[in-house]
Structure 1
Amino acid sequence: MGHRAVITGIGVTAPGGIGTKAFWNLLAEGRTATRTISFFDPAPFRSRVAAEIDFDPEAHGLGPQEIRRMDRGAQLAVVTAAEALADSGLEQGDLDPHRVGVTVGTAVGATMGLDQEYRVVSDGGRLDLVDHAYAVPHLYDYFVPSSFAKEVAWSTGAEGPATVVSTGCTSGLDAVGHAIELVRDGEVDVMIAGASDAPISPITVACFDAIKATTARNDDPEHASRPFDGSRNGFVLGEGSAMFVIESLERARRRGAHIYAEIAGFATRCNAFHMTGLRPDGREMAEAISRAMDEARTDPADVDYINAHGSGTKQNDRHETAAFKRSLGEHAYRAPVSSIKSMVGHSLGAIGSIEIAASALAIEYDLVPPTANLHTPDPECDLDYVPLTAREQRTDTVLTVGSGFGGFQSAMVLRSVA
């Protein structure tokens, strides 16, 4: 397998607070960051709640030209990557830029920028033939998701491989999975990897309204996201970014770096079944879990905590529960499981990386985040979902999983390094 890949820097920009410390405090306290949408008038829509970030790019070091050039999703990625790099203790001057790579996951790219600019060039939708003269000069950057990786590479001075991974809601897991392969193979010294999405826009809300995937619990935004609860009725849209500094274990030890966790195993599968549907037996997710554990040389009994996808749709939560039982056997009933989407919503492609951050911090602090708003479990979801309150326990090995439209199923194993 080559080098062992470890996380030495974490950056998080998520609902409820900017920075990794604020993010972890929110999870540890079991607070929710879901509210009525404020970015635009949500009145015409079926689902009018989301997990928004109170984010001021200028306050976080971005200049007027950068703010004009970058979509909000790219801004989140750049600010979050800077936090991860600072947290790692690495200085740009200490690195060979050709040996530093970037990989960024995103499900919907520059959706907010494209949505806003379409309203401008179409004169609020009144023009069938849009007028390009009113477009911002950098509209092309909104059109191509590769601009996210470009912006992170420019801001960090990385001149190695730069990639965008877009596999729907597993993008954040898959981007980090790609990064660890480059580290293991010795293709790079350091990877700056993670994901970013800022999808809270009219077009995104309309898309999920059409298939009734998001919750219509608009009268109680704070408690609208209810994974595994019998009263759940869809997910709450969110936004955010998590980025990591990933390097080999040998390199990290040599420079005396703080190591959060080793990324010991990763696997992904596709069910080739349905665009939005899932088989109830959870077979494809179970296969990804088993393969990731095999790669990590981890037995089911070693798993101390499962960070679930836990979107809060009836189909996903039951599918996922079945996958845990299928892959972990009787240990599925003993391992605590929780969904942080109950607190920070579902930020599509970014959430997989945000959940990796939660998993690494669970190892760091020996604390399992709770599933907020879980009062009456669905009888078909009969595992230990850590309702309402975080749980202190020894946490050395964490399994984190993701499931995405199109049939994507990904799993990752993180563990402590002695």
Structure 2
Amino acid sequence: MLKRVVVTGLGVVTSLGCEVSEFWDSICAAKSGVSKIRRFDCSNFKVQFGGEVQNFELTEHMDLLEKDVRRLDRFVQFAMAAAQKAITDSGIDFASGDPYLHGVLVGSGIGGLNEIEQQHSILFDRGPTRVSPLMIPKLMVNAASGNISVRWKLKGPNSAVATACASATNAIGDAYRLIQHGQAKVMVTGGSEAAVTPMGLSGFARMQALSTRNDAPEAASRPFDVDRDGFVMAEGAGICVLEEYEHARSRGANIVAEVLGYGMSADGSHMTAPDPEGRGAARAMQGALNDAEISADSISYVNAHGTSTPLGDKAETMAIKSVYGNHSRTMPVSSTKSQLGHLLGASGGVEFVISSLAIRDQIAPPTINLDHPDEACDLDYVPNEARRMQIDRVMTNSFGFGGHNACLILGKV
């Protein structure tokens, strides 16, 4: 028999705060975390803003020496801080259980881009003998999972996922499966990304994927709005603790929500553009519903992928309509990327945290900057203000370059 899987700990690092309470208050207050980039000079860049995590120091979030921090790329630092918060929130004592049943699964779309850029400069400015011997273990995508495993001595399943912007959702879904099938009791899982760098920003800008609203950064991410002109790059991490239900109950854990279903698919049509009719996305959504063995009309709210791109928002709207039918006309759907920007491989982790909190507090977060809805995007997107409502079940969507589609369903316990 498959095991039940619940959420017992949440942690975030975002442009709207690094404490879950502060972060959630800002989400519910419809605040924006998008601003001018400060970490590097981008005055000659086409795009000069993003959802940047400002004034972040890992030593302020966990007990580490500065020399140890220097061994970690920024995306790993984000993951470590968010993991520390999620583990503390869960109240779990890893020392008291079987370490081979405690695992880690953290996704990232790009990994250590900061380290790649720094060492590339050193290579060409100072020569190959000056490249850091720490370069490889700092930049590899599995560095987040590996370092979390080492820090907390978690010896169970340990993996990493790189499926572009679906990475964190795939990671959480895969962790859910491991617990369901009895291969782990506890999984630390989610996603982390730190691609707001000169190369990252210029690369996405050259693809013409980004909004260019340099004069109004906070209004740049506007999912489902007729004036949307691309997504806003962001960085951070969203990590949760998933736990087998009876294990959580036996230790008196505070259960935030239950993971009910997981679906995934591929568009199989283009490396960067979504299927124009959202058929792959719809397949993943229906797969999650089938896995949960529930009907579409039992979903209270959908946390959309909603990146603020002309093609993506329309395709997702079509997918939701095809799966939910008449229920889509009254079901609230919102995109919190309107507030945070797009955290790429970490987005699904942060949105999983948001979805869990939506169930806990019975609040659907808003889609801000939705001033002039696109006629092709005609659902209830919870415009500009959070909404108190009954929320029993939430679907959260993530879709990535390469045609990756991943969906999770959470429910009240």
- Using the size of structure 1 for normalisation, the TM-score is 0.96
In structure 2, the residue matched to 1:171 is 167
Tell me the residue number matched to 1:379: 375
User: Are the counterparts in 1 of residues 73 and 139 from structure 2 also a CA contact under 8 Å?
Assistant: no
Q: Which amino acid aligns with 2:110?
A: V
Do the aligned partners of 2:338 and 2:369 also contact (CA within 8 Å) in 1?
Answer: yes
Aligned to 1:411: 407
User: Deviation at 1:300?
Assistant: 1.3
Question: Share of identical aligned residues, percent?
Answer: 37
Give, as a single letter, the amino acid of the residue that structure 1 aligns with 2:6. V
Aligned match for 2:103, one of 96, 101, 104: 101
Matched, 1:203 2:199: yes
Aligned partners of 2:92, 2:59: CA distance in 1, in Å? 24
SS at match of 1:16: coil
Stretch moving more, 141-150 or 349-358: 141-150
Task: Name segments (4+ residues, structure 1) moved above 3 Å.
Answer: none
CA offset at residue 69 of structure 1? 0.3
- The residue type paired with residue 117 of structure 1 is Q
Contact 1:111 1:142 in 2 (8 A): no
Q: Does 1:81 align with 2:66?
A: no
Trace 1:8-407 onto structure 2 (pairs within 5 A).
8-54=8-54, 55-61=56-62, 62-123=64-125, 131-407=127-403
Q: CA deviation at 1:177?
A: 0.6
Hey, what's the Cα distance between the residues in 2 that align with 1:87 and 1:399? 23
Offset, 1:382: 0.2
Q: Distance in 2 between matches of 1:117 and 1:63?
A: 23
Separation in 2, partners of 1:146, 1:201 = 20
Amino acid at match of 2:47: S
State the Cα deviation string for residues 86-130 of structure 1 (Å, max 9, x = none). 11111122221111110010000001121122222222xxxxxx7
For 1:218 and 1:96, locate their aligned partners in 2 and report how far apart those are by CA, in whole Å. 52
Deviation at 1:295, TM superposition (A): 1.0
Which one-letter code corresponds to 1:224 in the other structure?
A
| Structure 2 segments unaligned to the other structure (5+ residues) | none
Q: Distance in 2 between matches of 1:120 and 1:224?
A: 35
Tell me the SS of whatever aligns to 2:70: helix
Distance in 1 (alpha carbons) for counterparts of 2:52 and 2:188:
25
Residues 15, 53 of structure 2: 8 Å contact kept: yes
Any idea what the Cα deviations from partners look like across 1:126-182, whole Å, max 9, x if unmatched?
A: xxxx71332233111133222111111111220112101000000010000110111
Any idea what SS the aligned residue of 1:414 has? Answer: strand
How far apart are residue 30 of structure 1 and its match? 0.4
The 3-state SS of whatever aligns with 1:98 is helix
Cα deviation per residue 1:263-289 (whole Å; 9 max; x = unaligned)? 110011011100112222111111110
Contact 1:106 1:195 in 2 (8 A): yes
Q: Secondary structure at 1:17's aligned position in 2?
A: coil
Q: Distance in 1 between matches of 2:249 and 2:139?
A: 41
Q: C-alpha separation between the residues in 1 aligned to 2:120 and 2:25? A: 38
The one-letter code matched in structure 2 to 1:59 is: E
Q: Give, in angstroms, the shift of residue 45 of structure 1.
A: 1.9
In 1, the alpha carbon distance for the partners of 2:139 and 2:77 equals: 15
Instruction: Give the superposition deviation at 1:20.
Output: 1.1
In structure 2, distance between residues paired with 1:65 and 1:170: 33
The residue type equivalent to 1:331 in the other structure is: H
Instruction: Write the distance in 2 (CA, Å) between the matches of 1:306 and 1:5.
Output: 20
Report if the CA contact (8 A) 2:165-2:400 is conserved.
yes
One-letter code aligned to 1:24: W
Question: Paired residue for 2:5?
Answer: 5
1:126 alignment counterpart: none
Structure 1 unaligned residues grouped into runs of 5+: 124-129
Tell me the distance in 2 between the aligned counterparts of 1:66 and 1:385: 44
Query: The residue matched to 2:136 in structure 1 has which SS?
Result: helix
Contact 1:338 1:371 in 2 (8 A): yes
Q: Describe the superposition over 1:338-376 as per-residue Cα deviations: whole angstroms up to 9, x where unpaired.
A: 101011110100001110110000000000000011111
SS of 2:179's equivalent in the other structure is helix
Q: CA deviation at 1:255?
A: 1.6
Provide the C-alpha distance between the structure 2 equivalents of 1:58 and 1:278, rounded to a whole number of angstroms: 40
For residues 147 and 155 of structure 2, the distance between their equivalents in structure 1, rounded to whole angstroms, comes to 12
Give the Cα–Cα distance (whole angstroms) in 2 for the partners of residues 95 and 193 of structure 1.
Answer: 18
Q: Alignment partner of 1:69: what SS? A: coil
Q: Distance in 1 between matches of 2:38 and 2:118?
A: 15
TM-score between the two structures when normalised by the length of structure 2: 0.97
**Is the Cα–Cα contact under 8 Å of residues 107 and 141 in structure 2 kept in the other structure?**
no
User: Aligned-pair distance for 1:67?
Assistant: 1.4
Conserved? CA contact 1:82–1:156, under 8 Å: no
Is residue 286–residue 323 contact of structure 1 (8 Å, CA) maintained in 2?
A: yes
Residue 111 of structure 2 aligns to a residue whose secondary structure is coil
Please give the alpha-carbon distance, in whole angstroms, between the structure 2 residues aligned to 1:284 and 1:397. 22
